[in-house]
Amino acid sequence: MNTQLSDHYQQILVGLGENPSREGLIDTPMRAAKAMQYLCNGYSKSLEEVVNGALFESDNDEMVIVRDIELYSLCEHHLLPFIGKAHVAYIPTGKVLGLSKVARIVDMFARRLQIQENLTRQIAEAIQQVTNAAGVAVVIEAKHMCMMMRGVEKQNSVMSSSVMLGAFRESCNTRHEFLQLIGRGR
C-alpha cells in the first residue's frame, strides 16, 4: 500500500479542519488511499493484457454491439465520480473480440482520471486497434458528480459523447442503424 498517498489524505483532512485522530477518521487516510488506488487501477493495465489473445476467427461482417456497459470513472478536473453506460459497436473484418473483453476495455480506460470525451475516444481507438474493424462506434452517457454536487448543481443532467470511426463515420445508414439499436436513433 502506498503510505505516501495515505499521508496526503491525512493532510487533506487537516486542511479541511478535521481531526484525523478522532475515532471515525483514524483509518480514513489509509481507506481513502486504497479506494483511490482501486478507482484508478486502469493505469496498471495494458490493452494487450486486457485482451489476452481473445480474438477469434469469424466470417461475420455484420455489426456487433455491446450495450449498457456500466462505467465508473473520476473527473480529472475535480476528482469526483462520473457514472454511466457505454455502448460499443464494431464491424468485424475476419476476427471478433471476446465479449467480456469489450467491457474490460471500457473499465481499463474508465479506471483512470478522465474526461468523458477522451474516454469515449480511447475506447473506440482501442477496439479499432485490437480488431482492425471496418468501423467502431462508442456512445457514453453519464452523470457527473462535479456538476451535480457542486457548481451548477443540476441533478438530472446527463452528458452524451460519441466517437464514430470508419464505416460508422462514413455511412449515415450504418451510424443510424447503430443509434437505433442502442435506442438513441430518431
Q: What are the pLDDT digits (tens) for 3-50?
A: 899 999 999 999 999 999 999 999 999 999 999 999 999 999 999 999
Residue 12, C-alpha cell as written in the block? 487533506
Residue 156, C-alpha cell as written in the block? 438530472
Q: Is 40 annotated as a binding residue?
A: no
Whether 76 is catalytic is: yes
Catalytic-role residue among 114, 116, 122, 128 = 116
| Per-residue confidence (pLDDT) for residue 20, from 0 to 100 | 96
SS (H, E, C) the chain: CCHHHHHHHHHHHHHCCCCCCCHHHCCHHHHHHHHHHHHCHHHHCCHHHHHCCCEEECCCCCCEEEEEEEEEEEECCCCCEEEEEEEEEEECCCEEECHHHHHHHHHHHHCCEECHHHHHHHHHHHHHHHHCCCEEEEEEEEEEHHHHCCCCCCCCCCEEEEEEEEHHHHCHHHHHHHHHHCCCCC
Give domain limits for the chain: 3-41, 52-183
Contacts of 153 by beta carbon, 8 Å cutoff, 6+ apart = 147
CATH superfamily, with its number, for domain 3-41: GTP cyclohydrolase I, N-terminal domain (1.10.286.10)
Catalytic-role residue among 76, 129, 176, 180 = 76
Cell 490493452, located at residue: 47
Whether 77 is catalytic is: yes
State which amino acid sits at residue 65: I
Whether 172 is catalytic is: no
Q: Is 172 annotated as a binding residue?
A: no
Tens-binned pLDDT, residue by residue, of the chain (186 aa): 578 999 999 999 999 999 999 999 999 999 999 999 999 999 999 999 999 999 999 999 999 999 999 999 999 999 999 999 999 999 999 999 999 999 999 999 999 999 999 999 999 999 999 999 999 999 999 999 999 998 898 888 999 999 999 999 999 999 999 999 999 865
Q: Is 146 annotated as a binding residue?
A: yes
| Per-residue confidence (pLDDT) for residue 185, from 0 to 100 | 64
Catalytic-role residue among 11, 77, 117, 180 = 77
Catalytic-role residue among 8, 18, 37, 146 = 146
Whether 40 is catalytic is: no
CATH topology of domain 52-183: GTP Cyclohydrolase I, domain 2 (3.30.1130)
